[in-house]
Every structure is written in C-alpha cells, then in structure tokens.
Amino acid sequence: MARILFTGGGGAGNEALYRYLGEKHELYFADADITSISPMIPVDRRFEIPWANDPDFCDVVMELCTSRGMDYLVPGVDEELAQLASYKNGSVQILVPQREFVEEMLDKYGFAMALAKAGLPVPETRLLHDCDGMDFPLIAKPRSGRGSRAVARVESPAQIDAYLILQGKPGSEYVAQAIAPGHEYTVCVHADSTGELQTVVPVKVGIKRGITLSATAKASTPIYNYVKAFQQKFRPQGIYNIQCMMDEHGNVSPFEVNPRVSTTFCLALQAGFDPFDHQSTPPKGCIPQSPIHLRRHWANFITSERAAE
C-alpha cells in the first residue's frame, strides 16, 4: 500500500480517484482552496497548501510529504509542475516528467514549434499577432493556461482585435491555431524512468465544458502509433497527457500536451493501470480493449453557518 498526495485536490476527478484507489492505497488531497475538495473525501485526508506562485509553495508541499511519509506526489495543476519537477530526485517520487519537457509543453507556441521541428503532425500554430494568411475560423488561446480559459473560436481578423481588447494583453501572449478535423481525444501516457513507452490509454471525449463530462476509453492503433513516435522523439518520463483530434482516416493532430495527469485519469485506473502498485507491472501497450465509459454528474452539498462552524 502506497501513501499518495494529489495536489489540485479540488479537481473534478479526485472523488473518483478516492473511490477507485482508496482500498488499495492511502490517499490524501491538497489544494490552496481546501473547501473545493469534495466532502466525500474524509477531513483528515485533506490539506491546505499555498498557491503555486507563493515563494514557500515547494517547501510547504515537500515538508507535508516528508512529515506524512508520502511515497508519491501527483501534481495536478500546471503552475506547480516546473517547480516540483526540480525535486524529482528527492525521497518522494513525483509523478511529473523532466523539467525541460514540462516547460516546453506548457508553452502552447513552444509545444507546436517543437513538434513541427521533430517532424510530427501538429495543427498550424502561430502567435496571434502574426497570423496573417491563416484560414478562418481558427482557435485563439493563451500561450499558457488550463481548463479552456480564454479559449475562443475566431471567425475573422476583426474578431482577433476584439479578442485581444477583451483579454487586455498583447498578441504575443496568445496563439492562433488551425482547427484540426475529427473527434477529440485525451490520451494518458506512461513511460518508465528511461523514457521507454509503457502504457497508452486513449479516451474519446463525448461532452466537454472546460473539463471532460463524458468520455469513453478504448484502445486505438492510430493514437498508439502517434504516441509511440512522440515518445521516441521527446523521451519524457512518468505520466503525461496528449490532447488531440483524430479524423475518419486515423490521422492524429495534437493541439496540446499536458505534462501531468488529467481529470480522466480515473478511466486509466479503471482500465487496469496503477502506477503506484509495486506488486504488479503496469500493462504495456494500448488499453483497454473493451470500452469503459465515464459520465460526470453534479453533487450538491448544503450547510448552515452553524454547521460550518
């Protein structure tokens, strides 16, 4: 049994992680807003930590891991990743790829340039102030960000001006990306400490509203082949997530790479992937062969002021 701390504890998938992994491992969840962590998780398994931009963030999180005897730390928030990647050689195993990979992939312009340089398919991506000649409609989004914040479909050059006025920042802070055809997938990828590909879990997105609300996990040969080529080029270690489109001909076009676990990580666990189990080897190749479905529903928790005290 492993002791595991997940940051970003208020994320949508953590209640499922607690239910699916809680009988095998000792799970804890941390968040800068501790009230965002699901009440379905026991109070003694919830911790408040500083925001990622706090100068004491890393010291507090690593002290929490040390004092509580954590075996694993699983960062769930983009702003934490580069900082925590620097601690990968500590006594706690941190499930985040190497820092250079993290920094390159978190910059959505740098990500696209890196994939193009590596000869891998990627939608045309430019800085938003330098998108003359691109076909419309296109996607405008921040160079760094998560949860689909400030992501917009732009129909014409005039709308780019309006988008930048609305955002209040220069065009160099945003990218313009061609819209790739097909259906959206979010892909959980696991590589060992030498950068050898181990497990790939493709998840076909059904409904998405910032986070994935419904999805189906099932093996896909075209996606596996793309991930295999990506892994050979970049050699990231640990767990990361590729967001991509796949068209009817099996052509795969990634539009983002998130160097962390995603909110659909619970589907990978249900498919038999458990990176925390020392007694068994994680499955190799593309899984699962039979579909596994996810559907998220809202839960409502109502308390009075007296009860809250």
Residue 172 maps to a domain: yes
158: amino acid identity, one letter: A
CATH code, domain with 157:
3.30.1490.20
Is 230 in the same domain as 286? Answer: yes
- Rounded-to-integer distance, Cα 56 and Cα 59, Å: 5
Closest CA to 167 of 190, 182, 150: 150
Is 186 in the same domain as 273? Answer: yes
Distances (CA, A) of 56 to 31, 49, 83, 164, 214: 14, 10, 11, 33, 37
Question: pLDDT > 90: what percent of the chain?
Answer: 83
pLDDT value of residue 230: 98
| pLDDT tops 70 at residue 306 | no
Distances (CA, A) of 229 to 120, 162, 191, 215, 252: 8, 39, 13, 25, 12
Residue 213 maps to a domain: yes
38, burial (CB in 10 Å: exposed 0-12, middle 13-18, buried 19+): middle
pLDDT band at 91 (very low <50, low <70, confident <90, very high): confident
The mean pLDDT value for 34-39 works out to: 94
Question: pLDDT > 70: what percent of the chain?
Answer: 97
Indicate the pairing of strand 252-258 with strand 238-246: antiparallel
Q: Which two tokens stand for residue 29?
A: 């969840």
Q: Which two tokens stand for residue 277?
A: 């189990």
pLDDT value of residue 177: 97
State pLDDT tens for residues 201-211: 999 999 988 78
| pLDDT tops 60 at residue 78 | yes
* Per-residue burial over 202-236, b = 16 or more CB atoms within 10 Å of its CB, e = otherwise: bbbbeeeeebbbebbbbbbeebbebbebbbeebeb
Residue 77 maps to a domain: yes
Is 185 in the same domain as 173? Answer: no
The mean pLDDT value for 24-53 works out to: 96
Sequence-ordered strand ranges (E) for the chain: 3-7, 26-31, 46-48, 72-74, 93-94, 125-127, 138-142, 152-154, 174-178, 183-191, 197-209, 211-217, 238-246, 252-258, 285-286, 292-295
Residue 110 maps to a domain: no
Is 154 in the same domain as 64? Answer: no
Please give the residue range of the domain that contains residue 133.
124-178
Give the domain-ending residue among 77, 96, 115: 96
**Cβ-based neighbours of 218, under 8 Å, separated by 6 or more:** 202, 204, 288, 289, 290, 291, 292
Predicted TM-score (pTM) of the model is 0.92
pLDDT value of residue 280: 80
Residue 210 maps to a domain: yes
State pLDDT tens for residues 115-171: 999 999 999 999 999 999 999 999 999 998 877 788 999 999 999 999 999 999 999
Residue 114 maps to a domain: no
Range in 122-136, 150-164, 181-195, 271-285 the model is least confident about: 271-285
| pLDDT tops 90 at residue 60 | yes
pLDDT band at 231 (very low <50, low <70, confident <90, very high): very high
Is 28 in the same domain as 91? Answer: yes
pLDDT band at 191 (very low <50, low <70, confident <90, very high): very high
Is 53 in the same domain as 75? Answer: yes
Is 169 in the same domain as 185? Answer: no
Residue 233 maps to a domain: yes
Give the count of domains, the chain. 3
Is 46 in the same domain as 9? Answer: yes
| pLDDT tops 80 at residue 89 | no
- Rounded-to-integer distance, Cα 201 and Cα 231, Å: 14
pLDDT value of residue 307: 52
The mean pLDDT value for 170-196 works out to: 95
pLDDT value of residue 127: 96
Is 86 in the same domain as 138? Answer: no
Is 212 in the same domain as 237? Answer: yes
| pLDDT tops 80 at residue 220 | yes
pLDDT value of residue 281: 81
pLDDT value of residue 68: 95
The mean pLDDT value for 52-74 works out to: 95
CATH code, domain with 234:
3.30.470.20
Residue 165 maps to a domain: yes
210: amino acid identity, one letter: G
Is 188 in the same domain as 173? Answer: no
